[in-house]
Structure formats: C-alpha cells, structure tokens
C-alpha cells in the first residue's frame, strides 16, 4: 500500500492512497480535471471517478513532491493473487467508474475495503471495535488547521452527518489514518498485517510552506468595521455623520458577506451529497442577510427612512427567531449539528444591530437621517 503525504493544492491537502502489485499501481482517485462541467457534475454528484492503472515509475514521477510511505502487506500467495485478480477486474472499463463520496467512498476507503477483504476482515476487526478520537468534522478541521478560514468555510458546508460518532474504520477515509490502521492491524493469530515499511521521499518534497493569512485578515477587518460601526451608532444615536457612514458600510459588507454565504449554503444543501444536504447552518446564515446591504447603503447615504427601519427590525427579529429555534432544538436534543458557536456569534451581532437601530431611530427625520 502506498500513502502519499498532502500536496500543496486544496484537493491534495488530505493526502492520497494507492495499491501496488508488482510494477502496477492501482489508483482509485482518478477524475477528468479538464471537464468543462466539472463543478456542476461534482455538485450533482455525477462526476465520475475511476480506478486507473499505471507503472510504479510513473507514479513516482507524478508524486515527486510528496513523501511516499510503502507498506508491504503480509498476505499469503493466494490472498495476494486473489487481490490482484480483483483489482484487474475492477480496472476494466465497464467496472472502473464509481460514485465518489468524500467521507464514505473515496480513494482511501476503496483501498481499505480491498485490503480488508484480502486480509479476511483484519482491518474491520481492528477498526470497528475502536472509537475514533474525533468526528468527520474534527478530521477536516485538523487537516486544514493551517488555513483556518478555509477550514471554517468547508465546515460551514457540512451538516450534522459529520458530527456523529465514528470508529477508526471510518477514520480511514483519510490516507494517513488508513496508513496507521493498517500498521496496527493484526491477522488471526496475532501476526502483523504489515511485514515491512519504508519511505520514499520525492526529489521535490519539502515541508509545506505556511499558508497565506490574507483572507483571514480581510474577514477580521470586515467584522471589526461592522462591530465598531454598530457600537458607535448605538452610543451616539447616529448623530455624527462619520459614525453613521461607518455603521452603514459595515452593515452593507456584513449583509453581502453573510447573504452570499447563505446562498452558497442553500445551493450545497440542495445537492445529493449526504454530508451537505439539509444543512442547519441555513437557519442562522440564510440568503435573507442580503437584505441588510440595502439598509446599510441607505444608512451610509443618510437616506434611511422610518418604514425601512421598521422592516430592518422585522428582518433582525426573524433571524433572531431562527437562532432561538436552533438553540431550542439543541436544548431538546433534537438538533445535533455542532455549530452553537456560530449561532451565538450571529445572534450577538443581530442583537447589536437591533440596539443600533433603536439608538438611530430618534435621529431619523421625516424623509430619512438628517
């Protein structure tokens, strides 16, 4: 079994796994990256992945920027031959394609299941009896810890499915976890499943560079502007033009950002991916946040009128009600998605926005803000 360390691109950050039989390498992670409809097919879960076969030399060239861990499996001649035959049959054009699933059916789980079958269930025996130290969500956040903004963005797209308890066998959707599971597995009688293990560093392999923090800094600046503007507006009632403009710009940016996230969540929740559909994050980050952009522009321009302010308050109340419903669901044990930190942050910001609207109201003239 070959396990490749993570690569520099996002889709490579989780590592990769393949099986080698003599000089043939079987790779379950192949797809057409040049497909013009790649994004649409992936969202619809119709992007074909397939088992490809290449030489070991080609594999080394392809992953020359990775560290490859090689684990020689302690299979009998009959078991090894049976595995080779199944892989060849699986690689036939009519059998090679499969419906990819990031957590349940990917390059690592296909290898896991093939090895488990060859080893008479040794991996299932070792993995299903041992609880995982985390959840699917925990694994995603851990792997992407070097890019917190990316990690949190992907986590937003995931529903309660990824918060359920799992075992070490399910952990093996990650190549690194599969490598550890295979290393720890024992055959009947106590013999190790791995007879020998070594590493092959690619000539271009080097420690990963620290990720850029530009996105995180930009988001922090956006939130700081929003909070400063709302707090200042609450304090002086919007009587100062600079305060009103800052509050309006912050409200606009917040509405556009949160509303755009809501639109992305809506699209993702309508896809057939089991880890994305029916996402409870839509309750607290919905497309309705886009409505704040219009109110923010009017406030910054000094044209926010009393009827518009009342509609804004209604929108705030509606979104706060959604946060309350979600929190009540968790308190009752009905809701299980681990996002109460997000719910609390959104609710606090909405309460601050409500306080700001109440403070600004006396400064409104008949036609708007004077």
State the DSSP code for 188: T
Residue 20: name the closest of 56, 63, 57 by CA. 56
- Within 10 Å of residue 365's Cβ, how many Cβ atoms? 10
Q: How far apart are CA 62 and CA 29, in angstroms?
A: 13
SS3 205: coil
> Can you give the pTM of this predicted structure?
0.86
Residue 27 β-bridge partners? 52
Q: What is the CA radius of gyration of the chain?
A: 26
Per-residue pLDDT of the chain (370 residues; tens, 9 = 90+): 999 999 888 778 999 999 999 999 999 999 887 888 888 888 888 888 999 999 999 999 999 999 999 999 999 999 999 999 999 999 999 999 999 999 999 999 999 999 999 999 999 999 999 999 999 999 999 999 888 888 889 999 999 999 999 999 999 999 999 999 999 999 988 999 999 999 999 988 877 666 666 667 777 776 776 677 667 666 665 567 777 787 788 788 888 989 999 999 999 999 899 999 889 999 999 999 999 999 888 888 878 788 888 898 899 999 999 999 999 999 998 888 999 999 998 998 888 877 777 776 665 554 444 3
SS3 49: strand
Strands 16-21 and 48-55: unpaired
Tell me the angle at which helices 214-236 and 148-156 cross, rounded to the nearest 10 degrees.
70
* CA separation, residue 82 to residues 12, 77, 91 (Å): 31, 9, 14
Per-position DSSP letters for 322-363, written without gaps between them: HHHHHHHHHHTT----S-HHHHHHHHHHHHHHHHHHHHHGGG
Q: How far apart are CA 85 and CA 63, in angstroms?
A: 26
Beta strands in 33-136 (DSSP E): 48-55, 67-73, 97-99
* Contact indicator for 272, 46 with CB cutoff of 8 Å: no
SS3 67: strand
């Amino acid at each position: 079994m070959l396990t490749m360390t993570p690569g520099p691109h996002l889709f490579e950050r989780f590592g990769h796994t393949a099986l080698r039989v003599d000089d043939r390498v079987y790779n379950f992670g192949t797809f057409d990256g040049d497909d013009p409809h790649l994004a649409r097919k992936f969202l619809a879960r119709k992007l074909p992945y397939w088992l490809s076969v290449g030489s070991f030399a080609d594999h080394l060239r392809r992953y020359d920027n990775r560290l490859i861990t090689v684990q020689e499996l302690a299979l009998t001649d009959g078991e090894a031959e049976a595995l080779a035959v199944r892989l060849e049959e699986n690689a036939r054009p009519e059998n090679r394609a499969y419906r990819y699933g990031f957590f349940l059916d990917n390059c690592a789980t296909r290898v896991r299941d093939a090895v488990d079958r060859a080893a008479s269930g040794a991996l299932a025996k070792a993995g299903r009896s041992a609880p995982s130290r985390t959840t699917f969500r925990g694994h995603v956040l851990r792997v992407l810890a070097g890019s917190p903004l990316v990690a949190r963005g992907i986590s937003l797209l995931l529903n309660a499915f990824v918060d359920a308890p799992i075992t070490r066998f399910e952990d093996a959707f990650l190549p690194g976890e599969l490598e550890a599971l295979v290393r720890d597995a024992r055959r009947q009688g106590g013999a190790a499943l791995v007879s020998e293990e070594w590493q092959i560093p690619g000539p271009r392999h080097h420690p990963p560079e620290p990720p850029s923090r530009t996105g995180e800094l930009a988001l922090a600046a956006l939130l700081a502007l929003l909070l400063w503007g709302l707090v200042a507006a609450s304090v002086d009632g919007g009587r100062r033009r600079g305060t009103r403009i800052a509050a309006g710009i912050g409200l606009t940016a917040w509405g556009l950002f949160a509303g755009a996230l809501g639109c992305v969540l809506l699209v993702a929740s309508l896809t057939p991916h089991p880890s994305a559909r029916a996402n409870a994050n839509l309750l607290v980050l919905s497309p309705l946040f886009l409505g704040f952009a219009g109110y923010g522009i009017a406030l910054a321009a000094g044209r926010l009128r009393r009827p518009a302010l009342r509609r804004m308050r209604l929108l705030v109340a509606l979104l706060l009600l959604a946060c309350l419903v979600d929190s009540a669901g968790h308190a009752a044990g009905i809701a299980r998605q681990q996002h109460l930190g997000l719910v609390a942050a959104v609710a606090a910001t909405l309460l601050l926005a409500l306080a700001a609207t109440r403070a600004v109201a006396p400064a409104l003239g008949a036609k708007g803000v004077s």
